[in-house]
A and B are shown apart, each in its own frame.
Chain A
C-alpha cells in the first residue's frame, strides 16, 4: 500500500475522496457562515419596525439573494453530496476510492470557482438583487450583473454533474463482494437518488439561465413577452430543477438520519425495504411538483390541479420515513449522544415543516399564502434549519472517521440546545404573517407585525449562536480533540470497521460483506 502523502500541495493536487470531501466541507462551512451572517443582518433589520436606516430597499434585496444562494447552492447541496457523498460512498460500499478520482477533484475546483463568482456578485457593483430565483424580466431589464449569476450556476452545474456521475458509477460498479443492493446503507440509497435528480435536472436549469444570458446580453427575446417570448418559460425551466433540488438535499438527509437513529437505538432500521422504496418514489415524484411554484402565476387551471396531486402525494413517502424512524426508536436502547440529539431535533423541525408544507401544497390554501412569510417559515422549518441541523449532526457523527479525533460532546450538546430552542420559535411568527397575507421579500414589514418579527429575530439569534458554536467546536476539536478509537459509536456499518482516521486506501483488503449495516441485537445464529 502506498503511503499517504502530506503537505499543502497534496491538498491542492489530491484525488483522494476523503480529502476532497474535507475540502468540500470546509468550503461549504465558509458559505454557511456567510449565509448566517447575512441572516443576522436581515434579522437585525427586522428588529425595528418599518425598516431601519441600516439597510435600504436595494440592500435588503441583495442580502436575501446572496443569503438564499449561499445557503441552498453553496452550503446545503455541496455539504450533502460533495462532503457526505464523497466521504461515505466508498467507505460504505467497501471501495478504495470513487470511480473517477480526477473528475472528482475537478468537480470540487469548479464548485470553488462558482463560489468565488457568487461572492463577486455580492461585492461588485451591480450586485445581485433579484432573489436566488433570478426571474426575468426583472433580471434582464435591471443593470445587475446577471452574467455572474449565470456563470456561477453554470460552473456549479458542471461540478454537480461531474460529482453525480461519479457517485452513481461508483455505487453501481464498485461495491465490495457481497454488498448486495439490499445491504446498502440507506445513506447510500439517499445519495444515489439525489445524484439521479442532479443528472436529470441540472441540464434544464443550465438551459434556463443560458437563455437569460442571451436575452440580457445578446438581445434575444426568449423571455420577453412583447416580442413573442414568455416570462413563464423561465419559471417552468427553473423550477423543473429547483424544486427537485430540495430532494437533492432531503434524500441524503433521510439516509443520514436513518444511520444515526439505528446506531444510537441499537436496533435495525425499521422497514428497510419501504425506506428504499420511499426514497425512489420521491426521486421520481419529485419531478411532478414544480408547478406549485406557479400556482398563482397565470398557469392553466388543469396544470395547477395536476401538480397539486403530485405535491401533496409526496407527503406519503415522507410520512413513511418518519413513522419508520419512530418505530425504530420503539423498543430500542436510546443513547442521547450529540449526533442523536441532532437527528431528533431534525425530526421535530421537519414535522412542523412537513404539515405546513401540505397547506401550501393545497391549491385552495396556497392562493392566500403563496409568496408570503408563510412560505419563508415553511421552508426554513422543512429544509433550511432542520436539514442544516441534521448536516451538523452528521458531521458530529462521522467526525472521528475523517479527522481521527473526537468532537467535544459537552460543547456539542450546548450548541444543540441553543440551535433547537432558537429554531423551533424563530420562524413560527411568520406563519401568522403569512395567513394575514404579508408578502415575502419585503424590506418594510407593515408596522402592526413588528412585534412578531422581533420575536422571530431574537430566537434567530439564539439559533445562529448554536450553529456558530458547532462550527467552532469542529475547528477546535479537529486540532485539540481526543484521539478517536476506530469505532467510538460501536456501529455495525462498514466504515466503522476500519481505523480512524480512515487510512489512505481505506481497506487493506477489499472486505467480503456477509450482512447488512444495521444488524444490532441480532440473536445468535439467526440468518440475516
Chain B
C-alpha cells in the first residue's frame, strides 16, 4: 500500500511538528502565526503530492491500449475507504487544535497593553489616544503590547495590520478589538482597510509608527502642550484635519469620489441644479457643514457631514486656499 505509507509519513511529520509549535509558550502572536502557517504548508504540500503523484502515475500506467479494453471490476475496498476517512480526520483535528491555541493568543490581551481607540470613516482612520490626542491615518505606539478598540462612524471597515498578522472589522455602533506586540521601533508597516467601504476603499490606508517608550512619551507631551495652547499654526492644523477628506478629494487634480481640492478656491463649479457658483469661503463652509445643501454636478451626494468646531473649519478653509 504505497498510499497508506505516504499517509503515515504525513502523520509522522505532523507529530514531529506539533509539540514544537502548539505547546511552546508564546508572547508574540506573530511567531505563533508563522509557525502555524508553516505547519499547514507542510501538510498542504504532502496532501497535494499524495493526490497528484498517484494521479499522474495512474494516468500514464493505465491509459487505454485497445478499443474495447475494460478496467478491472473493483467496486471498493472498505479498509482503504476507512483509512482515507480516518487519517485526514486526525490531521485536520491536529491542525484545528493548533489553530485554536494560536487564536487564543490573539484574543487574550496582556494586562499591560497600551490602549488606543480607532474610528474608521470613509476613507480614513482616526486614532484617539488615552491622553486626549487625536491623529489621522497615523498610529503611534510605544514598544510593547498594544490594544486597539475599533469602531466606525459610517459603514463597516476593517483595521488590517499585516505586519503583525492581525485584522478585525470596525463596525458602526459597537466596539471590536485586537492586540499586537509592537516589538521594535520603526515606521515599517502598512495599515489597510480590508472591508469594502466604497469607491475610496483602496485609498483608505494608514501608517504605523512604533517608538521607544521615552520617545513616545516625549511625543505625547509635545502634542498635548501644542493642542492645548492656541499656538498651533492654522496651517499645520489644516494639514492634519484635511486627511479626513483626502480619501474622496485629491490634492493633485485627479478625480476620486469627489471633486479635486486642487485649485478649488476661486474656481467656478457647476451645480446639479444647473446653476454656476464661484467657490468662496462661505460655500466651502457650507459644503462642510451641510454637504447635501448644494451638490456638484456629476458627483453622487455621498459626502458625510463632519463634526468640526468653527476653529477647525477655519483651519481647513485656510489650508484649502493654499492648494493650487
Q: Is B201 an interface residue (CB 8 A)?
A: yes
Determine if A225 and B171 form an interchain contact, defined as CB atoms under 8 angstroms apart.
yes
Residue interface mask A358-372, B partner, CB < 8 A = 1: 110011110110111
Chain A residues, Cβ within 8 Å of B225:
none
Chain B residues, Cβ within 8 Å of A129:
198-199
Give how many A-B residue pairs fall within 8 Å (CB-CB).
Answer: 276
Chain A residues, Cβ within 8 Å of B199:
56-58, 61, 129, 443
Known contacts A298-B174, A371-B194; decide if A267 and B162 are in contact (CB<8 Å): no
Determine if A226 and B32 form an interchain contact, defined as CB atoms under 8 angstroms apart.
no
Determine if A370 and B190 form an interchain contact, defined as CB atoms under 8 angstroms apart.
no
Known contacts A129-B199, A367-B165; decide if A58 and B59 are in contact (CB<8 Å): no
Chain A residues, Cβ within 8 Å of B59:
329, 334, 344
Chain A residues, Cβ within 8 Å of B196:
61, 130-131, 135, 138, 441
- Residues from 90 to 128 in B contacting A, C-beta threshold 8 Å: 92, 95-96, 98-103, 106-107
Chain A residues, Cβ within 8 Å of B81:
271, 274, 320, 324
Chain B residues, Cβ within 8 Å of A270:
74-77
Determine if B62 and A332 form an interchain contact, defined as CB atoms under 8 angstroms apart.
yes
**Of all chain A residues, which has the CB nearest B150?**
A298
Chain A residues, Cβ within 8 Å of B80:
323, 327
Q: Is B193 an interface residue (CB 8 A)?
A: yes
A372 to B165, CA, bound (A): 12
Q: Please give the distance in Å from A52's CB to the nearest CB on chain B.
A: 13
Q: Is B318 an interface residue (CB 8 A)?
A: no
- Residues from 374 to 422 in A contacting B, C-beta threshold 8 Å: none
Determine if A138 and B192 form an interchain contact, defined as CB atoms under 8 angstroms apart.
no
Determine if A266 and B92 form an interchain contact, defined as CB atoms under 8 angstroms apart.
no
- Residues from 348 to 366 in A contacting B, C-beta threshold 8 Å: 348, 351-352, 355-356, 358-359, 362-365
Known contacts A364-B36, A364-B99; decide if A521 and B203 are in contact (CB<8 Å): no
Q: Is B253 an interface residue (CB 8 A)?
A: no
A side interface size, CB within 8 A: 89
Which of A130, A274, A435 has the most chain B CB atoms inside 10 A of its CB? Answer: A274
Determine if B201 and A57 form an interchain contact, defined as CB atoms under 8 angstroms apart.
yes
A156 to B27, CA, bound (A): 50
Q: Is A326 an interface residue (CB 8 A)?
A: yes
Q: Please give the distance in Å from A370's CB to the nearest CB on chain B.
A: 6
Known contacts A58-B199, A330-B62, A438-B192; decide if A267 and B99 are in contact (CB<8 Å): no
A304 to B100, CA, bound (A): 10
Known contacts A298-B176, A323-B84, A334-B63; decide if A358 and B40 are in contact (CB<8 Å): yes
- Residues from 26 to 63 in B contacting A, C-beta threshold 8 Å: 32-33, 36-37, 40, 43-44, 47-48, 51-52, 54-55, 58-59, 62-63
Known contacts A268-B75, A439-B193; decide if A355 and B168 are in contact (CB<8 Å): no
Q: Is B237 an interface residue (CB 8 A)?
A: no
Q: Is B305 an interface residue (CB 8 A)?
A: no
Q: Is B213 an interface residue (CB 8 A)?
A: no
Chain A residues, Cβ within 8 Å of B256:
56-57
Chain B residues, Cβ within 8 Å of A351:
47-48, 51-52
Q: Is A331 an interface residue (CB 8 A)?
A: yes
Q: Please give the distance in Å from B302's CB to the nearest CB on chain A.
A: 6
Chain A residues, Cβ within 8 Å of B51:
322-323, 326, 347, 351
A21 to B73, CA, bound (A): 34
Q: Is A4 an interface residue (CB 8 A)?
A: no
Q: Please give the distance in Å from A203's CB to the nearest CB on chain B.
A: 25
A356 to B163, CA, bound (A): 21
Q: Is B202 an interface residue (CB 8 A)?
A: yes
A348 to B200, CA, bound (A): 37
Q: Please give the distance in Å from B301's CB to the nearest CB on chain A.
A: 7
- Residues from 300 to 323 in A contacting B, C-beta threshold 8 Å: 301, 304-305, 308-309, 312-313, 315-316, 319-320, 322-323
Known contacts A315-B88, A320-B84, A324-B81; decide if A138 and B76 are in contact (CB<8 Å): no
Q: Is A480 an interface residue (CB 8 A)?
A: no
A297 to B172, CA, bound (A): 12
Q: Is A296 an interface residue (CB 8 A)?
A: yes
A336 to B63, CA, bound (A): 8
Q: Is A26 an interface residue (CB 8 A)?
A: no
Known contacts A334-B63, A367-B165; decide if A320 and B85 are in contact (CB<8 Å): yes
Q: Please give the distance in Å from B138's CB to the nearest CB on chain A.
A: 18
A497 to B174, CA, bound (A): 63
Chain B residues, Cβ within 8 Å of A334:
58-59, 62-64
Determine if A521 and B71 form an interchain contact, defined as CB atoms under 8 angstroms apart.
yes
Known contacts A298-B169, A351-B52; decide if A335 and B155 are in contact (CB<8 Å): no
Determine if A358 and B92 form an interchain contact, defined as CB atoms under 8 angstroms apart.
yes
Chain B residues, Cβ within 8 Å of A61:
196, 198-199, 201
Which of A296, A435, A440 has the most chain B CB atoms inside 10 A of its CB? Answer: A296
Chain A residues, Cβ within 8 Å of B160:
371-372, 437, 439
Chain A residues, Cβ within 8 Å of B174:
225, 298
Determine if A312 and B44 form an interchain contact, defined as CB atoms under 8 angstroms apart.
no
Determine if A331 and B62 form an interchain contact, defined as CB atoms under 8 angstroms apart.
yes
Q: Is A511 an interface residue (CB 8 A)?
A: no
A368: contacting residue among B33, B100, B156, CB under 8 A:
B33
A267: contacting residue among B63, B74, B101, B302, CB under 8 A:
B74
Q: Is A333 an interface residue (CB 8 A)?
A: yes
Q: Is A218 an interface residue (CB 8 A)?
A: no
Can you name 10 A-B pairs with beta carbons within 8 Å?
A: A298-B169, A333-B70, A333-B71, A351-B47, A358-B95, A363-B103, A365-B40, A368-B165, A441-B201, A521-B71
Residue numbers of A with Cβ under 8 A of B are 51, 56-58, 61, 129-131, 135, 137-138, 141-143, 225-226, 231-232, 265-268, 270-274, 296-298, 301, 304-305, 308-309, 312-313, 315-316, 319-320, 322-324, 326-327, 329-336, 344, 347-348, 351-352, 355-356, 358-359, 362-365, 367-368, 370-372, 435-446, 520-523, 526
